[in-house]
Amino acid sequence: MASERDSQAVEILRGNDRGGYTVPTARLYPFQWNWDSAFAALGFATFDRDRAWREIEGLFDGQWEDGMVPHIIFRKVDPEYFPGPGVWGSTTEPPTSGHSQPPVVASVARWLVETGGRDDERRAHAMFPKLLAWHQWWHRDRDPDGTGLVGIIHPWESGRDNCPDWDAAMQRIAIADDLGAYRRRDTDVADAATRPTSETYDRYLTIVKFGRECEWDHERIAREGPFFMADPCVQFVLMRADHDLMALAERFGDDPARRRISDWITLSDEGVQALWSDAAGGFVARDLRTGDLSPAISNASMLAFYANAGTPGQRDEIVRQARDIFDRCRYVFPSWDPRHDGFEQRRYWRGPVWSVMNWMIAAGFDAHGHADLAKRVRRDTLAMVRQSGFFEYFDPLTGEGLGGSDFTWTAAVHLALLSEYAGDAG
Could you list the residues that contact ligand GLC (CB under 6 A)?
A: 24, 29, 33, 35-36, 159, 161
CB nearer to ligand GLC: pick between 17 and 366:
17
Cα–Cα distance measured from residue 212 to residue 225, given in angstroms and rounded to the nearest whole number: 11
Residue 282's SS3 state is strand
CB nearer to ligand GLC: pick between 196 and 271:
196
Residue from 55, 57, 120, 392 carrying the catalytic annotation: 392
Helix 232-251 and helix 118-141, axial crossing angle in degrees, nearest 10: 130
Cα–Cα distance measured from residue 382 to residue 402, given in angstroms and rounded to the nearest whole number: 15
Cα–Cα distance measured from residue 417 to residue 355, given in angstroms and rounded to the nearest whole number: 10
Cα–Cα distance measured from residue 80 to residue 295, given in angstroms and rounded to the nearest whole number: 37
CB nearer to ligand GLC: pick between 52 and 72:
72
Where do the DSSP E strands lie in 232-364?
Answer: 276-277, 282-283, 286-287
Residue 77's SS3 state is coil
Residue type at 116?
Answer: G
CB nearer to ligand GLC: pick between 36 and 55:
36
CB nearer to ligand GLC: pick between 161 and 167:
161
Beta carbon of residue 42, minimum distance to ligand GLC (angstroms, whole number): 15
Where do the DSSP E strands lie in 357-400?
Answer: 393-394
Phi, psi of 276 (to 5 degrees): -75, 135
DSSP assignment, residue 286?
E
Beta carbon of residue 170, minimum distance to ligand GLC (angstroms, whole number): 15
Phi, psi of 293 (to 5 degrees): -100, 150
Residue from 161, 217, 254, 269 carrying the catalytic annotation: 161
161 is catalytic: yes
Q: What region, left, alpha or beta, does residue 199 occupy, with left being phi > 0 and alpha being psi -120 to 50 degrees?
A: alpha
Residue type at 279?
Answer: A
Residue type at 26?
Answer: A
CB nearer to ligand GLC: pick between 33 and 166:
33
Q: Which residues are catalytic?
A: 161, 392
